[in-house]
Structure 1
Amino acid sequence: MFKIEERSSAFEDNLKIQVELHKGVNYPHRLNFYDKPPLYDVSIEEFETSALNRLRILAEIESSAARNRSWEETKTVTSTQCEKYLPLKSSSATGTEKEAQRRTDHLGHFVLRLAFCRSADLRRRFVKAETTLFKVRYETDDSRERELFLGSRDFDWVAVDKVEKEKYRQELMSYGRADAFEAEKYYKVRWTRVPDLIDKRQVFLKGGWAYVPSKKQSSIVYQEFETHLERDLVATSRYMPRLDEDTRLGGILDNLSQGFLGGVSSEWSAGPADANGESIRAEMVDDLAAKHFPMCMRNSHQRLRADHRLNHFGRLQYGLFLKVLGLSVEEAIVFWRKSFDRINDDTFNKMYKYNIRHSFGLEGKRANYPAKNCQQILTSGGDPGCPYRHFSPENLQSALLSTYGPLGLTSSDVPEVMATVRNGHFHVACTRVFEMTHSSSGVKKGDGVGGGESVTHPNQYAAKSMELAKAQEEKASQMVVA
């Protein structure tokens, strides 16, 4: 891919070793520049699943940037997410399906290329997140395997020999530790290849060349990965019109391209009722809403109490949320009947009871409908929608203080939340509100709803809040007994 005038014999020898060592292996390295697309048949399910699992990680990476996490925090959260959704073991690991893991990684990357190549903004966000993922993997890779990967590619860098190193001794020593100079190796590349190092004044420049110490070698690799991906995304975008004829893929790709908006969550099918062995009764909803609901569901509940009605989409969104929270169909009928207290029983039975039973899979096609996740709510028409996206700034600030003030949110917390909203990171704003209002339960900034994860589903927010409250109650009761 890259042409250079001088190719070291060491590189050629290493490349020959790689060919012999990995002959017949599709993915010889954990690290990947994704030069070649997947040339094999896949099912629609595998096509979508591989992309969704990867997108969960990329969305959390973007969330980490929005939350101003340090690099170490970002690396920890990303590694945790990778282990959960996209494990990628080293070549030396035993007892793992390395080939299958690397195939999934490869396929998911190229599917997301199709989803995110269609606009400059989507390409920019995808490249930034993918480059961060590559950096995390590079830093956590086995040093021996990392060297083998570097040796398998031509990065167009020129090793600085002893004569040239000695010639620029003083200059090179001024950009690093003097006591480490003798042992340090240097590589030179065109200065345009390492803009980050130049910006930080970490390399010596001479005649258009940047002299990069081996400890900063990774910057060349990262920049190469980013440039490589940017170019390939533009090329992919030119072929996208050909996919318009395939109706199977259009909806999937559209859905994937919205993944950075509200994060990517699994369908939330198990609520506190399943986890704690407790059921939610109709008379408990008011108290639960005041203490544990995210802003979107709290807003729906307040509107229902104030107006004694909700529009069709509001009832659907809130009703499914309550169902997954643990409200049985019998209790749901009681809850909605008391909420619509301005109509008689006959009207309620004709207009609403069937739809309630339908949402529980007891009428019609008897499907067990899942609750709406953040991405679906954020991309809805706006009524009821997500308050962080659809409220005016003035209304949102007022709503935040009136809703969460009793739970510990203060006026000094609001500017941080609003800044996140202005940058379009709505689910991150919701996550920060969760952290702020659960600090008394030991939740710190960056913890999210567990393991550093951002809020991606209203039921995820409520379930974690209820779990924390239950843990506090159990701890208090044990102290009383003691």
Structure 2
Amino acid sequence: MFTSSKSTSKTPSTSTTNFFYTTPPSYELSLEDFESFALSRLIVLRKIEELKVKGLDRNQYNDALKRVVSLQLPSGGSNQSQKSYNEKRDLASHFILRLAYCRTEELRRWLLTQELALFKFRLEDLEKRGGKDMTLFMRSAQISFDKISHDEKNGMQSELRFNMSYRDFEASSFYKIPFAEAVDLIGRRLVHVRGGYAYVPGGKLVSIICARFRSHLSRSLAKASASFSHVSSDTRIGPLLKNMNKQYTGRDFGKQTAVEGDMNASNVDEYAERSMPLCMRQVHDGLKKDHKLKHDGRRQYGLFLKGAGLTMEESLLFFQNEFTKIMSADDFNKNYAYNIRHSYGKEGKRQSYTAFSSTTIIMGPRSNPSEVGSHHGCPFAHSGDSSLAALLGKMGIGGKDKDDIMAHKKNKMYQLACAKHFEVTHPGAAKTEGVDLDGVGNHPNAWFNSSAQYWKQKDGVKKEGGLKGKLTPPKGKVERALVSPNRPGEEKMEINA
């Protein structure tokens, strides 16, 4: 295919319309470009998945996708050098992700679905431009169809003209397509069938070409899976390929930037009630019930609260208020305060850690809660069907909304289930001014941000006002927690996000 090195050779001679990806690239890539190209495409494909569950109309979907494609995988360019670079990035990124996502059936299915959507989007854009661009693409992809003659077209006018005006019929060319390649159009009764062929107007060729692309990519992914172990043994690119599906491509929630100044120890419960995603709501409820959390639960929830705007001082106070219901303040300071300060970069290596993305929570090390009393993890991925159904019912989610969420879970589309949960619990959010839905379903803090924005708009609360309610801190406890030094035997938490 292509190799990784620290140098870059001449650019490929591909056409901007060659996105059927029949021929792998043979040029070299630097390791930096190898990773950068792959992540650019991954951002686009994940955006496609996200847009599908937002209930957007066709124009809104295309506009949103066009923005991210033009930013991450632009075509053309102001000069030949830029044009060649963009072509190179598009071609290489496809084959890199094809390698990274070929190793399991679930990953292959995900990549196939998103790549098909991107292909269709681009093909429809070509079709709108028509003429030369579409012809160049079909030629580059080695696609040709039997065009019927003008006389044959006129002789079948009564059969071919259904659902078409006379003007459109006169302007259209018709092609004879083997029955098996036009199943989608036949199923929707959009074409005439005779003698084992479907007679397809030129404007509906997109469906036929997409079917060919899907078949081509499906076979290619299956073939690539046989070579994955060999390719991934390369120490330079192996780790990246093996972990590509776990890469987080959204905003970094490492600092308290979500709703700065709003969240404090006294109102975490209120935010949990209406603005936390199900994974964090589950940990919060477990904390309120047991007044403690196991190591992985503290990591997941503590970093989430940090990313949601809770300062280190307020985090210490919040956890201390809960933990000291079953232990002394000295025990809390001795065994847990250090860990909280560590996550804020005030102890140990003094590295400020970032909140976990949805992918990390679902697939990361020790992500699946197996111990009794564990509350971390993703309810959509790690809970049984009956447990999740009962939880949704308890929250008042039923009917079609519940069925849709459970269907996503069954299909292992856990992040789509999370996004659907947001949509159900925040009706009209997509049309609410001031609500940014970017990242909902892909990161708990993005979910939280969007929810907080939604409710502020609904409640008419000014940003600097915050939520009601103040919790009076127990005197003498906070000060000890803040200055408590690390002591022998104290549990240390090394957070590897």
Q: Shorter-chain TM-score category?
A: 0.7 to 0.9
- Structure 1 unmatched ranges of 5 or more: 1-23, 478-482
Matched residue type, 1:38: P
Indicate conservation of the 8 Å contact 1:33/1:225, yes or no: yes
Partners of 1:106 and 1:313 in 2: how far apart?
40
Partner in structure 2 of residue 361 of structure 1 = 345
The secondary structure found in structure 2 opposite 1:35 is: coil
The secondary structure found in structure 2 opposite 1:42 is: strand
Partner in structure 2 of residue 305 of structure 1 = 288
The secondary structure found in structure 1 opposite 2:177 is: strand
Partners of 1:25 and 1:314 in 2: how far apart?
49
Partners of 1:448 and 1:103 in 2: how far apart?
37
Aligned length: 442
1:57 and 2:41 matched: no
User: For the structure 1 residues 431 and 127, does the alpha-carbon distance in structure 2 shift closer, same or farther, using more than 3 Å as the test?
Assistant: closer
Partner in structure 1 of residue 182 of structure 2 = 194
Indicate conservation of the 8 Å contact 1:267/1:370, yes or no: no
User: For the structure 1 residues 168 and 395, does the alpha-carbon distance in structure 2 shift closer, same or farther, using more than 3 Å as the test?
Assistant: closer
Partner in structure 2 of residue 40 of structure 1 = 27
Partner in structure 2 of residue 7 of structure 1 = none
Deviation at 1:321, TM superposition (A): 0.6
Indicate conservation of the 8 Å contact 2:344/2:353, yes or no: yes
Deviation at 1:197, TM superposition (A): 2.3
Aligned Cα RMSD in Å? 3.5
Partners of 2:231 and 2:141 in 1: how far apart?
32
Deviation at 1:234, TM superposition (A): 2.8
1:225 and 2:209 matched: no
Residues 149-195 of structure 1 deviation map (CA, whole Å, 9 limit, x = unaligned): 33444313122223433454444345754554433222223333322
Matched residue type, 1:280: M
1:344 and 2:331 matched: no
Partner in structure 1 of residue 407 of structure 2 = 419
Partners of 2:170 and 2:348 in 1: how far apart?
78
Deviation at 1:307, TM superposition (A): 0.8
Deviation at 1:214, TM superposition (A): 1.5
Partner in structure 1 of residue 108 of structure 2 = 123
Partners of 2:268 and 2:336 in 1: how far apart?
19
Residues 68-217 of structure 1 correspond to what in structure 2 (within 5 A)? 74-83=61-70, 86-90=72-76, 97-141=82-126, 142-143=129-130, 144-173=132-161, 176-217=164-205
Matched residue type, 1:221: I
Indicate conservation of the 8 Å contact 1:300/1:314, yes or no: yes
TM-score by length of 1: 0.79
Indicate conservation of the 8 Å contact 1:372/1:457, yes or no: yes
Partner in structure 1 of residue 318 of structure 2 = 335
Indicate conservation of the 8 Å contact 1:431/1:448, yes or no: no
The secondary structure found in structure 1 opposite 2:176 is: strand
Deviation at 1:265, TM superposition (A): 4.3
Partners of 1:150 and 1:448 in 2: how far apart?
43
Partners of 1:280 and 1:419 in 2: how far apart?
34
Partners of 1:385 and 1:178 in 2: how far apart?
59
Partner in structure 2 of residue 385 of structure 1 = 377
Indicate conservation of the 8 Å contact 1:296/1:386, yes or no: yes
User: For the structure 1 residues 114 and 148, does the alpha-carbon distance in structure 2 shift closer, same or farther, using more than 3 Å as the test?
Assistant: same
The secondary structure found in structure 2 opposite 1:435 is: helix
Deviation at 1:65, TM superposition (A): 5.3
Matched residue type, 1:137: R
Deviation at 1:255, TM superposition (A): 2.7
Matched residue type, 1:158: D
- Structure 2 unmatched ranges of 5 or more: 1-10, 464-497
The secondary structure found in structure 1 opposite 2:171 is: coil
Residues 43-72 of structure 1 deviation map (CA, whole Å, 9 limit, x = unaligned): 444323322332233234345556776655
Partners of 1:200 and 1:360 in 2: how far apart?
57
Partners of 1:476 and 1:67 in 2: how far apart?
27
TM-score by length of 2: 0.77
More deviation, 349-358/297-306: 349-358
**Larger helix percent:** 1
Partners of 1:159 and 1:468 in 2: how far apart?
54
Partner in structure 1 of residue 276 of structure 2 = 293
Deviation at 1:221, TM superposition (A): 2.3
Partners of 2:183 and 2:433 in 1: how far apart?
33
